[in-house]
Amino acid sequence: MNYITHSLGGAAAGVMVINAMGVNEPTQQSAILTGAVLGSLFIDIDHKKSWIAHKIPLLANAASGLFKHRGVIHTPVFVAIVSIILGVLDWSWLHEWNVFAPYFIRGFIPGMMSHLVLDTLNVQGIMWLWPISNKRFHLLRIRTNSMMEMAVCVVLGACLYGKYGSFF
């Protein structure tokens, strides 16, 4: 999926977190949404030409050099490792450094998960069971930047607006 579809998926995940946590403070909501959208875009760090790779080229060069696109970084294990690291950082000092950091992280993690879910709709799929199996799973056969992806993007945007429009 392209970065627009992933951003919308991340935003949807962020709104779900806001609703589930019952966060009413606008600045805290913004921190969750920002984290969710960036989390959803972060997973494509293993693709040199992705939106996030242009923002943090050094990390993207390292990630895309070490791992192939839609490989290890596109797995629940990677998301779990990043989540644990962020959780430990938050628990130890991050929450004291910035009051919005805990909210950002609570958006970032579901944002990353939304990326895996959306990429599962692509024909290439992702390795949901890695490292047990390298088999790639996909639910649909959508090609990136195709008309079908555009349809997913529009449906996602409409759902987001329809269900949570009042929120924005």
Select the span of 11-19, 57-65, 114-122, 145-153 touching Zn ion (CB under 5 A).
114-122
Among 36, 44, 82, 102, the residue binding Zn ion under the rule CB under 5 A is 44
Select the span of 80-88, 117-125, 132-140, 159-167 touching Zn ion (CB under 5 A).
117-125
What residues have CB less than 8 Å from 52, skipping those under 6 apart? 3, 38, 41, 42, 44, 45, 60
Considering the complex, state which of residue 101 and residue 116 has its C-beta at the smaller distance from Zn ion.
116
Considering the complex, state which of residue 44 and residue 149 has its C-beta at the smaller distance from Zn ion.
44
Burial of 87 (0-12, 13-18, 19+ CB in 10 A): middle
Considering the complex, state which of residue 34 and residue 50 has its C-beta at the smaller distance from Zn ion.
50
Per-residue 3-state assignment (H helix, E strand, C coil) for 83-139: HHHHHHHHHHHHHHHCCCHHHHHHHHHHHHHHHHHHHCCECCCECCCCCCCCCCECC
Among 119, 125, 153, 156, the residue binding Zn ion under the rule CB under 5 A is 119
User: Rounded CA gap, 75 and 113, in Å?
Assistant: 9
First to last CA, the chain: 24
Select the span of 29-37, 92-100, 105-113, 115-123 touching Zn ion (CB under 5 A).
115-123
Binding to Zn ion by CB under 5 A, coded x per residue (else -) over 52-91, reads: ----------------------------------------
- Residue 144 C-beta: closest distance to Zn ion, Å: 9
Binding site for Zn ion (CB under 5 A): 44, 119
